[in-house]
């Protein structure tokens, strides 16, 4: 039986949120954003262990959030690096060779559900030709390429474009190799899938909900609070 380990990346400082402690520690529905995220992975039967990558100066605060969430699967809380890619790399070091499948998720996406996590893992497991499976949805808005002066250069073909989220799930050996090659060659990807793609990895897209948002600006907290309240009423 495979061992599935989640790396929850929470190393950013959340400067765009404009509040002390950043987005991970912002309280919504009675618990910090990161706590809701961890709780979803804790409740997912397909996840065996969790590694939290914390902002280096807030490891103690993030440890308190883990305790508040009641999570028992968290095996390590490690400091992040200068970039998100560096933070994931730090998480990979801790995971080492213990995982068969690695799930990477943004700590600031607290609306993720255990069902979505499990579906993404299953999407990879059931597709022997895939190196990874990632959550996203088609672009419903028109997307334009813009030049530096602020003028439209071209309108992209929306039928071929998806907006990508997390969780992103990978065969551990493939992700470790892709990260090692990226470090050796100085490559910086915009997400984990892009790092795997450049090594020839085949990535499967899993249709996810549009409300799986990443908390970035203050108004996102209002949306998250409302949706979590609606879910609580539906229980």
Cα separation, 71 vs 50, in Å, equals 9
**Mean pLDDT across 96-113:** 96
| pLDDT number for residue 19 | 59
| pLDDT number for residue 15 | 59
pTM of the model: 0.94
Over 80: is that where the pLDDT of 21 sits? no
Over 80: is that where the pLDDT of 22 sits? no
The residues near 29 (Cβ < 8 Å, ≥ 6 apart) are 36, 224, 225, 228, 229, 232
| pLDDT number for residue 2 | 85
Q: What is the band of 231 on the pLDDT scale with cuts at 50, 70, 90?
A: confident
Q: What is the band of 185 on the pLDDT scale with cuts at 50, 70, 90?
A: very high
């Amino acid at each position: 039986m495979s061992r599935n380990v989640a790396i929850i990346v929470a190393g950013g400082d959340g400067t765009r949120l404009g509040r002390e402690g950043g987005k991970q520690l912002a309280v919504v529905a009675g618990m910090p954003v990161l706590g809701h995220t961890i709780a979803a992975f804790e409740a997912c039967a397909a996840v065996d262990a969790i590694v939290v990558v914390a902002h280096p100066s807030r490891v103690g605060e993030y440890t308190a959030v883990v305790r508040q969430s009641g999570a028992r699967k968290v095996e390590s809380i490690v400091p992040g690096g200068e970039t998100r890619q560096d933070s994931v790399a730090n998480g990979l070091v801790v995971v080492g060779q213990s995982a068969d499948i690695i799930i990477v998720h943004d700590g600031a996406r607290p609306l993720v559900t255990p069902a979505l996590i499990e579906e993404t893992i299953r999407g990879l497991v059931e597709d022997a030709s895939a190196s990874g499976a990632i959550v996203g949805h088609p672009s419903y808005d028109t997307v334009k390429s813009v030049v530096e002066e602020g003028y439209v250069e071209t309108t992209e073909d929306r039928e071929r474009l998806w907006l990508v989220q997390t969780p992103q799930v990978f065969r551990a050996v493939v992700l470790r190799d892709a990260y090692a090659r990226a470090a050796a060659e100085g490559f910086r990807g915009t997400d984990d899938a892009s790092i795997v793609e450049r090594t020839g990895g085949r990535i499967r897209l899993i249709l996810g909900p549009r409300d799986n948002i990443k908390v970035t600006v203050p108004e996102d907290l209002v949306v998250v609070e409302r949706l979590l309240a609606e879910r609580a009423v539906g229980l």
